Amino acid sequence: DGALIITPYYNKPTQEGLYLHYRRIAEAVDLPIMLYNIPGRTSVNMLPQTVARLAELPAIVSIKEGSGSIQQIDEVLQRCGDRLTVLSGDDALTLPIMALGGHGAVSVVANVAPRDTAGLITAAAKGDFSQARALHHRLLPLVNALFIETNPMPVKTALSLMGRCADELRLPLCAMRPEMKESLTGSLQRYGLL
């Protein structure tokens, strides 16, 4: 139905290289494309100017923004307006991003707490920031617990503890350290998921 395309990693392309890369993909496939900006994983940050250029291409319809910079995300929203659906790629920033005009999230915490995550997004979309803030504060300790080790190790471990999937990871991901798994288990228990 669509493609989520991460910024190329390892070779650290320039902004022009990023633009040309995404443009080539947009011209080669007949799918809507979601840009994925997560410099903490790729070591390259797609700047708002580049995102705005890409938003001119009909196939580029959204961005999963994981830069961690509210200022940068706000600039993307201002530059792109209604041409691009801006989604949070960082659960801790979903509420602030939506308060600035973002449209939702591609979420990790939704895997274990879908009802509250959807409730936060729905409330924020309706402008009920009191309810959205309450859900944000409820979810935040769980969000933090899901990132105590490299993602997706904690969320897969959490889902295993909840009986939703097998307790297995592919290398180079591995089992959580026992003390981290114990901490995660406690967070899930406090949230009422175990």
Q: How many Cα atoms within 13 Å fall on the side-chain side of residue 139? A: 28
- Bridge partners (DSSP) of residue 36 are 6, 64
Q: Are 72 and 38 in contact (CB under 8 A)?
A: no
Q: How many residues does the chain have?
A: 194
Catalytic residues: 36, 64
Task: Tell me the C-alpha distance between 173 and 149, whole Å.
Answer: 10
CA 77 to chain CA mean position, Å: 16
Asked if 33 and 59 count as a contact pair (C-beta separation under 8 A), the reply is: yes
Three-state DSSP class for 64? strand
Q: What pairing do the DSSP bridges indicate for beta strands 60-65 and 3-6?
A: unpaired
Query: CA-CA distance, 52 to 84, in Å (whole number)?
Result: 9
Q: Residue 26 class from Cβ within 10 Å (0-12 exposed, 13-18 middle, 19+ buried)?
A: buried
